[in-house]
Chains A and B, each alone.
Chain A
Amino acid sequence: MTLIHARGLVKRFGDFTAVDGIDVDVRRGEAFGFLGPNGAGKSSTMRMIGCVSPPTDGTLSILGLDPRRDGPKIRAKLGVCPQLDNLDQELTVRENLTTYARFFGIPRRVARRRADELLEFVQLTERANSKVEPLSGGMKRRLTIARSLVNEPEIVLLDEPTTGLDPQARHLVWERLFRLKQQGVTLVLTTHYMDEAEQLCDRLVVMDNGKIVAEGSPRALIERHSTREVVELRFEAESQEAFADKLAGLGERVEVLPDRVLLYVADGDAALAEVHRRALSPAGVLVRRSSLEDVFLHLTGRTLVD
């Protein structure tokens, strides 16, 4: 069953087109990702799905309802974990959950019980009565995730859920989100971390300049847009450019970066043998599997868009 259905979805702010006619289908129980560089239109899309930003054009249906007309009704069934935490710093950890539950009309007694369960789930039980302000970034993010679950939502929207967290905190968040997915909760997330997308997403779309440039499972995207393996060569020279000619014809694609040369090949070891046969001796060599990051950089380019 399709929970989110978008066709030709557009969001414009004045002359600026943030989302430029995208088609998206999110099915029940899957973890769906929006990938893209900053400014690709991921957050604008999430805000439209969250029913706090009316679409400029196109059709959007969430849980079979129209966000333009049924905003509050849809939001009652969504959980939202925004990019910037908007917790109440003055309230305690538990009060943040209980007061938020009331916005959904949840009775106080149920709200208290659910708050305790959720604090257990995000491992914040010991901090239940502490104020939010002194919590670490990772704890605040876990609390925000707990808050997004307080109404037992059908869809949870997570906008860059682990941006700014340290590695331990990120892994804990991933583990909790994975647990939610196992419980059958539909997750929709945006990220620019490829490892996050590979870990969590069943299916994802890559966005660039407001458009969808690729779509599929992480594995399928790698197969379609990259080779199986990548050989990274580092030459001890002023310019790596000089070696490009000598590497010509090796693999599907040769990419020259300021500090190294990447060979996109099916078989990394065979390609490396060929490199040596051509009497080239790079100072550094790395043969690795292709990752979503290779797909991402190939599709959206290496130019910085800030």
Chain B
Amino acid sequence: MTLYVLEYHLVSYRRIWRSSVLSSFVLPLLTMLGFGVGVGAYVTGGVGGVPYLDWMVPGLIASTAVQIAIGDSTWPVLGGFEWQRIYYGQAAAPLRVSDILDGHLAFIVFRTVLSCAAFLLIATAFGTMHSWWALATLPIAALIGLAVAAPTFAYSATIRTDSYLAILFRLGVIPMSLFSGVFFPVESLPAVLRWIAYALPLWHGVDLSRAATLGVAPAWSASGHVLYLALWAVLGWLLAYRQFTRRLVV
């Protein structure tokens, strides 16, 4: 049943996949040029013994996973309840609430991995990958995607207007993207901010991705990172399931 819902989202996606895929390639390309050639020229010493671009790219892949996963879990989910109301149509069919939720989440993970794969391809072409472990960034991206999409689903299913989404982006997504070790090591943050970065999911994904593309050991234990991201995914799913049930079964 979950597969039927995923199939619906894929059919829906087919209408825009060309422009979507194009933008998945353009964004990393521009980033590579802007940061690699521009900013990278100033950071001549590199970071931790590797060129700045090589150090930053895995962080950007993880950050892309977050952007895509959260972006696709906000307006589409809110609209599914408030505007197009497609969830209500699905609930009238023999689907369970968990099918509706899981099918949509599966699509988000698919989108996330697709975008990160495009980024990985471009980044490889620029010679920033140091190890075959780089391929592990894709399952890592899937996990990060789930870890942020599930709680975002819960949030988007709770609010009634999209003005609350701006709050999520300004107070959540943007600070998290800036302070999670994507552009500079979290060690250079004051202790308070550093602990916020540890608490949020992105840094864990960044550290894992960086270890993968550089072929080194992560700063924390890899299984610790995975478990922490899984915790976000599971708690987020439970919250999302509760909100979806509240909206669809009343």
**Interface residues, chain B, CB within 8 Å of chain A?**
1, 4-5, 7-8, 11-12, 15, 84-86, 88-96, 248-250
Contact of B8 among A82, A89, A103, A151 (CB under 8 A): A103
The chain B residue with its CB closest to the CB of A148 is B92
- With A99-B8, A99-B11, A102-B4 as given contacts, are A54 and B90 in contact (CB-CB < 8 Å)? no
Evaluate contact between A75 and B93: CB separation under 8 angstroms: yes
Q: Which 5 A-B pairs have the closest CB atoms?
A: A103-B93, A86-B85, A76-B94, A72-B94, A80-B92
Evaluate contact between B95 and A88: CB separation under 8 angstroms: no
Residues of A within 8 A of B94 (CB): 71-73, 75-76, 103-105
Evaluate contact between B12 and A52: CB separation under 8 angstroms: no
Evaluate contact between B92 and A52: CB separation under 8 angstroms: yes
Residues of A within 8 A of B85 (CB): 84-86
Interface residues of A in 1-27 (CB under 8 A from B): 13
The chain B residue with its CB closest to the CB of A75 is B94
The chain A residue with its CB closest to the CB of B103 is A103
Residues of A within 8 A of B8 (CB): 99, 102-103
Tell me the bound Cα distance from A84 to B15 in angstroms.
25
Residue A95 interfacial (CB < 8 Å)? yes
Tell me the bound Cα distance from A54 to B249 in angstroms.
7
**Interface residues, chain A, CB within 8 Å of chain B?**
13, 47, 50, 52-54, 71-73, 75-76, 78, 80, 82, 84-91, 95, 98-100, 102-105, 147, 151
- With A88-B86, A89-B84 as given contacts, are A100 and B93 in contact (CB-CB < 8 Å)? yes
Q: Does more than half of chain B's interface fall in helix, strand or loop, or is it mixed?
A: helix
- With A84-B85, A100-B89, A103-B90 as given contacts, are A90 and B15 in contact (CB-CB < 8 Å)? yes
Most buried by A among B1, B4, B7, B94: B94
7 further interface pairs, Cβ-Cβ under 8 Å (given A52-B92, A72-B95, A87-B89):
A52-B250, A76-B94, A86-B84, A91-B11, A91-B12, A99-B11, A105-B94
Contact of A104 among B5, B11, B15, B93 (CB under 8 A): B93
Residues of A within 8 A of B90 (CB): 103
Tell me the bound Cα distance from A84 to B82 in angstroms.
11
Residues of B within 8 A of A103 (CB): 1, 4-5, 8, 90, 93-95
Residues of A within 8 A of B86 (CB): 86, 88
Residues of B within 8 A of A151 (CB): 93
Residues of B within 8 A of A84 (CB): 85
Residues of A within 8 A of B95 (CB): 72, 103
Residues of A within 8 A of B5 (CB): 103
Closest Cβ of chain A to B167, distance in Å, is: 27
Residues of B within 8 A of A71 (CB): 94, 96
Residues of B within 8 A of A100 (CB): 89, 93
Evaluate contact between B249 and A52: CB separation under 8 angstroms: yes
Evaluate contact between B88 and A90: CB separation under 8 angstroms: no
Tell me the bound Cα distance from A50 to B249 in angstroms.
11
The chain B residue with its CB closest to the CB of A47 is B250
Closest Cβ of chain A to B75, distance in Å, is: 13
The chain B residue with its CB closest to the CB of A89 is B84
